[in-house]
Amino acid sequence: MSTLLDGLSDEHRRRLRDAASGADLAAGPMLATLSDRRDFSRGGWIFERKLDGVRLLAVREAGRVRLLSRTGQHLNGTYPEIDDALAAQDCPDFTVDGEVVAFAGGRTDFSRLQQRLQLTDPRQARASGVAVYYYVFDLLRLDGADVRALPLRTRKSLLRGALSFHGPLRFTTHRNSGGQELLDEACARGWEGLIAKVADGRYLARRSPDWLKLKCGKGQEFVVGGFTEPAGSRTGFGALLLGHYEEGRLRYAGKVGTGYDRATLLDLRRRLDELATQRSPFADPVREKGAHWVAPRLVAQIGFTEWTRDGRLRHPRYLGLREDKRPEDVVRERPRKS
């Protein structure tokens, strides 16, 4: 066991267990719950910036680095510079959790990150011109020990000591108080929002109210179930038809016709044609003239202003595809009441 673990208190050392493989631990990432809570005056929380990127779990074990998406997809070829940075660490055995982002104008930009998400050849990824950064925020395994039962503050302290943060690696800093004031500041800066976490909480392999998503604007993932034909000089398609699952049925949430450039329209049309089907995948009637149906396999990130009373999206805009989300996991996000 490392000297970092040797420095733990007796109480914390008793919480350690021999770890399963890093890949097994990474298969159960902890997920945050959307919340409208604003009062954190009772304390016991820390606050991290909510980043507009994709989740990435990284494993270094037995001389090998593996970069894994939330769904277990291997991403070493997509982020070779992150692979290199983790392979160069002095610490030989760790599993960490974090978010990969790209920046535009000083802000994290999911649309820019899209240019990397489709690449699997490390040479093409390096030549893409899109710099990516890995913001690491949690530690699951260290030197053969499962540390998920340790308090979050302790895990973050171990994380800071275990890795050297330079190049594309970044340590996700936090604040110990603030709540509403920090969220107001984040929104004023154009950030996605905040993640509030129970400071002494364990790392749980499930969605938990110990981690709360506090968003500045509305947005979530939706399943693509069809599209409309383009009109006028438009190419590719007119709009994507979107849905979310509810009790195993794909419920229609509306269409999105903005947020695309020409290359995206053509690429998406190619993908859609490969998924063409004769029957609508939606449980609800979709009254779009000339609609084409596709098997519900693609997941799109959509920004919007609000939900209408009949469950439709108001002013939606396309932000990109999510390769790290399973269609069947996409449900309507409803804020947890404070």
- Tens of pLDDT along 247-290? 999 999 999 999 999 989 999 999 999 999 999 999 999 999 88
User: Can you give the pLDDT at residue 338?
Assistant: 54
User: Can you give the pLDDT at residue 180?
Assistant: 80
Nearest alpha-carbon partner for 26 in 60, 54, 52: 60
- Tens of pLDDT along 159-173? 999 999 999 999 999
| Contact status, residue 112 vs residue 102, Cβ threshold 8 Å | yes
Q: Which residues contact 162 (CB under 8 A, 6 or more apart)?
A: 2, 4, 89, 91, 94, 139, 142
- In this prediction, what percent of the chain has a pLDDT beyond 70? 99
Q: Does domain 10-37+50-175 have CATH number 3.90.79.10?
A: no
Q: How confident is the model at residue 216 (pLDDT cuts 50, 70, 90)?
A: confident
User: Can you give the pLDDT at residue 1?
Assistant: 43
Here the tokens at position 170 are: 């970044």
Nearest alpha-carbon partner for 96 in 37, 167, 19, 191: 19
CATH 3.30.470.30 positions along the chain are 10-37+50-175
User: Can you give the pLDDT at residue 305?
Assistant: 82
Helix or strand or coil: residue 313? strand
| Contact status, residue 82 vs residue 125, Cβ threshold 8 Å | no
2 pLDDT higher than 70: no
- Tens of pLDDT along 177-207? 887 888 888 888 778 889 999 999 999 999 9
Instruction: Tell which CATH architecture fits domain 218-329.
Output: Beta Barrel (2.40)
Q: Which residues contact 48 (CB under 8 A, 6 or more apart)?
A: 137, 172, 173, 174, 194, 195, 197
Strands 54-61 and 313-314: unpaired
- Tens of pLDDT along 20-59? 999 999 999 999 998 888 778 788 999 999 988 999 999 9
Catalytic sites, residue numbers: 50
Here the tokens at position 125 are: 């990824």
CB atoms within 10 A of CB 328: 12
CATH 2.40.50.140 positions along the chain are 218-329
User: Can you give the pLDDT at residue 178?
Assistant: 81
- DSSP letter for each residue of 25-67: HHTS--EEEEB-----TT--EEEEEEPSSEEEEEEEETTEEEE
Q: Which residues of 310-325 are buried (b: 16+ CB within 10 A; e: fewer)?
A: eeebeebbbbbbbbbb
- DSSP letter for each residue of 181-206: HHHHHHHHTT--EEEEEETT----SS
CB atoms within 10 A of CB 186: 20
CB atoms within 10 A of CB 177: 12
Nearest alpha-carbon partner for 195 in 137, 276, 270, 267: 137
Mean pLDDT, range 231-245, rounded to an integer: 94
Report d(CA 192, CA 189) in Å as an integer. Answer: 9
Report d(CA 26, CA 85) in Å as an integer. Answer: 19
- In this prediction, what percent of the chain has a pLDDT beyond 90? 72
pTM given for the model: 0.79
Within a 13 Å sphere around the CA of 203, how many CA atoms are in the beta-carbon half?
Answer: 26
